[in-house]
Amino acid sequence: MAGRNKCLALGFLAFLWADLGTEGKEEEEQTCRLLGKFDLNGYVGAKNHSLVIGGLFPIHSRTIPANESILEPVSAKCEGFNFRGFCWMKTMIHTIKEINERKDILPNITLGYQIFDTCFTISKSVEAALVFLTGQEENKSNFRNSTGAFLAGIVGAGGSSLSVAASRILGLYYLPQVGYASTCSILSDKYQFPSYLRTIASDKIQSEAMVRLIQHFGWVWIGTIAADDDYGKYGVKMFKENMENANLCIAFSEIIPKVYSYEKMQKAVDAIKTSTARVIVLYASDIDLSPFVLEMVYRNITDRTWIASEAWITSALIAKPEYFPYFGGSIGFAIPRTDIPGLKEFLYDVHPSKDANDVLTIEFWQTAFNCTWPNSSVPYNSDHRVNMTGKEDRLHAMSDTFCTGEEKLEDLKNTYLDVSQLRITNNVKQAVYSMAYALDGLSTCEEGRGPYVPGNTCAYIPDFEPWQLMYYLKTLKFTTHDGRRIEMDENGDVTGYYDILNWQLDDDGNIAFVKVGEYVFTNSMFELVITKNTAIYWNTESSECPHSVCTDVCPPGTRKGIRHGEPICCFDCIPCADGYVSQEPGQRECEQCGEDYWSNAQKSECVLKEVEFLAYDEPLGFTLVILSIFGALAVVAVMVVYMMYRHTPLVNSNDQELSFLIQLSLTITLLSSMLFIGRPYDWSCMARHVTLALGFSLCLSCILGKTISLFLAYRISQSKTRLTSMRPLYRKIIVLTSVLVEIGICAAYLVLEPPRVYKNTEYQNTKIILECNEGSIEFLCSVFGIDIFLALLCFLTTFVARQLPDNYYEGKCIIFGMLVFFIVWISFVPAYLSTKGKFKVAVEIFAILASSYGLLGCIFAPKCFIILLRPKRNTDEIVGGRISSIDKSIQLTSSSMSGEINNTVVSTVLDD
């Protein structure tokens, strides 16, 4: 229907003026004949006034639907009396009268007015704008209107779409237009609307304020409802852009039709009902909002929190007690309220009897008191709209009650007489004052000091050009009656603040607009202040602040997982991977723990990893320590036995110095295993392998000295030589050389690439296995390669001399000792490589202890058995003599050996 109204207005313009050609003689004057008139209602007060200010106000809320059977365009009639718009119109008249009575503003000039009813429709706004520019009277000079006075500018119109439509026409002539209620951001575009200014903030500011309010309460999932006009569409457009910049999401965005449509209204209401969004932004005027409110009541949709724009937050048309269960708790932005001195008395000074031709006052009276004024052709308040059931109501019937004229305005409760919430009404007053102050500045200009170039000239009333008055409007600065500073910027917008209001019920059951904060916007500051956070009423089941999210904030230990094709506020909460944590709710990514830390079971914080090593206080470590100490004590016991029986033949015959060195080296190797137990440090890592290698090197080199003696004895027994002597010094040189080579390699190992402590997390992420990094594998192989080489020499030399027929033959003991040594370390390699952590160290300790115990048992246990338990066999005859017929089972030692070869007894004596 709105589109049809536009077409009617444009079509009506096509035939409004007809240019008649010359008829008859060429010398006859060309005249212009008016073919029709716009059907406009309003007020004119222009007699004896040199300047007129125009006004556009929505005194009605709609036009009567046109008869579609009539093909010619017709200027529509209006219906639906709007008390609020009537109050605004009266405020303009009151303000002009106030200015005319002042001596400090336009002292020699009186202002008149010409006001038209826009009926809250674009078509009527366009008609009124055209009448302002051309008039509707035939054969009248063009004074820029039909009053005969000079039109200075326009105040209005009420809605953004109406101001846009009017300004596109008025802007062609650069005729000043000061808005009082149009907040659409597009009106700040001076390229499209060069002559438009306003005393109300732009929706750009309001949308930013709404987003800050939403952030303050932690909402992220918001629905939007907008009127199907410039105000709603541009308002929601700016709001969505600011929401996107703040990483907040729009759950749905629906339109309220300007002309009632059941399908469109149902679509909007269904979106609200099915959405999980509990907070909804509503960008619409109170007039457009009325059908929507009725539909919400009809569908019984509650538990929603509404964020209101300034267009309806204080509207008595919506703020009714019966709507409170559905819209109670609404929170929104309102223009600051004020008191206007003398306005209340002026509003009460209205009565149909004062002017029988004042159709608007008569209609006001009929609508307010629900009666019919006698002898009046003014129709009763009718409604031709289609209702929610899809049927058309035509209430043409007059009221049965006639107005008496004695009705009391004090008994009324409507927005016309309510001066407690003067907000947009005050903007009307300031819009008129803006025009007056600009005219005053223009009238007081001094020639030569004027703003116009060239020559710094001035303009004069009443024959100034519109663009000349625009200069003063754009540079306007003045203080209002309540101390507020009005200052226009280059876009014609003002700064100031919004009141943040909350709908609550007062003690009388009426809706009260409780101020709970404010939003300040100046050229240098934008600040949201909630002064009464706990005093806000929330229309929720719990009476707590609503929870409006698509997905609840992911708890600590999880991260946001994006759902493809859905807004960023809709996501999945994915648990963090092992080793990653999210400590704050709603984290987009999990953070990796440090090297020494690991995530706890909840993945909410990093905790120190469990450090694993073979400790002394655990059963395995304690057992190995006991075995190590016991082995060392056993070696010490052997040493004590050898010391006590050092003069006996068995001890003397076995090279007691080498024996003591072997015992000392076994003590070192047994005790070195304790270096592998406990928390490893760099010094312990270097000491453990070096000590073990040197201990085995000393042990095996001493054994090698013995085995070489046996090997030489075997070679002597096989030769014709009678006697060969091998001195002890040579054996000591072998031991010293072997140990020095080992010391040299170990020193190079420790200097060039020493072992270090290594935190191994390769096998278990939740644990730090403290172990020693061997450093250079080549050096390590070299260190223990010497020991293996010595062990192999010992085994080979002893194996060759294994058949020497002495009573106490030590060679076989050494062979068994070397076999044990090789078996232990050969089995150690796969066992070591197949275990991890502290058990890997335990395997190495077992190998050390087993090989040490093996050498101790094989080499020294038989001798200690004879020394302690068979002392009769520890004699020179048995230890050093031939094998007798009764003691053939007794074998000889390496120090005294006899063999019979070709019936010849060969004796080899090794000097000790």
Q: Spell out the residues 6+ positions from residue 63 whose beta carbon is closer than 8 angstroms to its own.
A: 5, 76, 77, 78, 79, 119, 121, 123, 124
Residue 457 reports pLDDT greater than 50: yes
**Location of structure tokens 């939403």:** 214
pLDDT band for position 436 (cuts 50, 70, 90): very high
Question: Is residue 831 reached through a cis peptide bond, with omega within 30 degrees of 0 on the bond before it?
Answer: no
Amino acid at the residue 445: C
Pairing of strands 526-530, 511-521: antiparallel
Report which of 346, 350, 309 is spatially closest to residue 330, judged by C-alpha positions. 309
Q: In whole angstroms, what is the distance from residue 401 CA to residue 162 CA?
A: 36
For 37, list phi and psi in degrees, rounded to 5.
-130, 150
Query: Mean pLDDT across the stretch 823-834?
Result: 81
pLDDT value of residue 836: 78
- Can you give the pTM of this predicted structure? 0.68
Task: Summarize pLDDT for 252-295 with one digit per residue, the tens.
Answer: 999 999 888 889 999 999 999 999 999 999 999 888 898 999 99
pLDDT band for position 395 (cuts 50, 70, 90): very low
pLDDT value of residue 662: 85
**Location of structure tokens 């909460």:** 573
pLDDT value of residue 718: 59
Q: In whole angstroms, what is the distance from residue 174 CA to residue 169 CA?
A: 9
Task: Residue count of the chain, please give it.
Answer: 912
Helix extents (H) in 17-146: 83-101, 122-134
Instruction: Label residues 434-465 b or e (16+ Cβ within 10 Å = b).
Output: bbbbbbbbbbebeeeebeeeeeeebbebbebe
Q: In whole angstroms, what is the distance from residue 648 CA to residue 198 CA?
A: 126
Q: In whole angstroms, what is the distance from residue 533 CA to residue 655 CA?
A: 99
Compute the mean pLDDT over every residue in the chain, rounded to the nearest whole number: 81
Residue 6 reports pLDDT greater than 70: no
Q: Which of 13-17, 378-382, 589-593 has the highest mean pLDDT?
A: 589-593
pLDDT value of residue 839: 84
pLDDT value of residue 884: 37
pLDDT band for position 542 (cuts 50, 70, 90): confident
For 419, list phi and psi in degrees, rounded to 5.
-105, 15
Residue 898 reports pLDDT greater than 60: no
Residue 466 reports pLDDT greater than 60: yes
pLDDT band for position 397 (cuts 50, 70, 90): very low
Q: In whole angstroms, what is the distance from residue 758 CA to residue 767 CA?
A: 13
pLDDT value of residue 31: 56
Q: In whole angstroms, what is the distance from residue 765 CA to residue 770 CA?
A: 13
The conformation of residue 322, written as its DSSP 8-state character, comes to: G
Query: Does 65 or 554 have the greater pLDDT score?
Result: 554
How far are the Cα atoms of 30, 34, 133, 329, 675 from residue 20, in angstroms, in the given order?
7, 11, 21, 63, 122
pLDDT value of residue 364: 92
CA dihedral 765, 769, 772, 774 (to 10 degrees): -30
Q: Spell out the residues 6+ positions from residue 62 whose beta carbon is closer than 8 angstroms to its own.
A: 78, 79, 80, 119, 120, 121, 287, 385
Return the percentage of the chain with pLDDT > 90, whole number.
32
Report the range of poorest mean pLDDT among 81-85, 462-466, 765-769.
Answer: 765-769
- Residue 509 region by backbone torsions, left for phi larger than 0, else alpha for psi between -120 and 50, else beta: left
Hey, what are 474's tokens? 């754009």
pLDDT value of residue 574: 92
Q: In whole angstroms, what is the distance from residue 366 CA to residue 377 CA?
A: 12
Residue 92 reports pLDDT greater than 60: yes
pLDDT band for position 380 (cuts 50, 70, 90): low
Query: Mean pLDDT across the stretch 25-50?
Result: 70
Query: Does 196 or 159 have the greater pLDDT score?
Result: 196
pLDDT value of residue 350: 92
Query: Does 439 or 723 have the greater pLDDT score?
Result: 439
**Helix, strand, coil percent values for the chain (each to nearest 5):** 40, 20, 40
Q: Spell out the residues 6+ positions from residue 526 whose beta carbon is closer than 8 angstroms to its own.
A: 208, 212, 519, 520
**Location of structure tokens 């302002």:** 132
Report which of 481, 541, 532, 537 is spatially closest to residue 504, judged by C-alpha positions. 537
Task: Summarize pLDDT for 561-594 with one digit per residue, the tens.
Answer: 888 888 888 889 999 998 899 988 888 899 998 8
pLDDT band for position 329 (cuts 50, 70, 90): very high
Q: Which of 228-242, 513-527, 706-720 has the highest mean pLDDT?
A: 228-242
Exposed (0-12), middle (13-18) or buried (19+): which is 518, by Cβ within 10 Å?
buried
Q: Is the CB of residue 721 less than 8 Å from the CB of residue 796?
A: no
**Location of structure tokens 């732009």:** 202
Query: Mean pLDDT across the stretch 827-836?
Result: 79
pLDDT value of residue 882: 38
Task: Summarize pLDDT for 289-316 with one digit per residue, the tens.
Answer: 989 999 999 999 999 999 999 999 998 8
Task: Summarize pLDDT for 642-698 with one digit per residue, the tens.
Answer: 888 878 877 776 677 788 888 888 888 888 888 888 888 888 888 888 888 888 888
pLDDT band for position 618 (cuts 50, 70, 90): confident
Task: Summarize pLDDT for 398-414 with one digit per residue, the tens.
Answer: 456 888 888 888 888 77
Residue 238 reports pLDDT greater than 80: yes
Query: Mean pLDDT across the stretch 605-630?
Result: 87
Residue 16 reports pLDDT greater than 50: no
Report the range of poorest mean pLDDT among 122-131, 186-195, 586-595, 881-890.
Answer: 881-890
Residue 499 reports pLDDT greater than 60: yes
For 98, list phi and psi in degrees, rounded to 5.
-65, -40
Query: Mean pLDDT across the stretch 501-513?
Result: 91
pLDDT value of residue 4: 42
Q: Is the CB of residue 76 less than 8 Å from the CB of residue 4?
A: no
Q: Is the CB of residue 335 less than 8 Å from the CB of residue 499?
A: yes
282 CB neighbour count, 10 Å cutoff: 28
pLDDT band for position 7 (cuts 50, 70, 90): very low
Report which of 838, 894, 848, 486 is spatially closest to residue 680, judged by C-alpha positions. 838
pLDDT value of residue 152: 92
Exposed (0-12), middle (13-18) or buried (19+): which is 104, by Cβ within 10 Å?
exposed
Residue 325 reports pLDDT greater than 90: yes
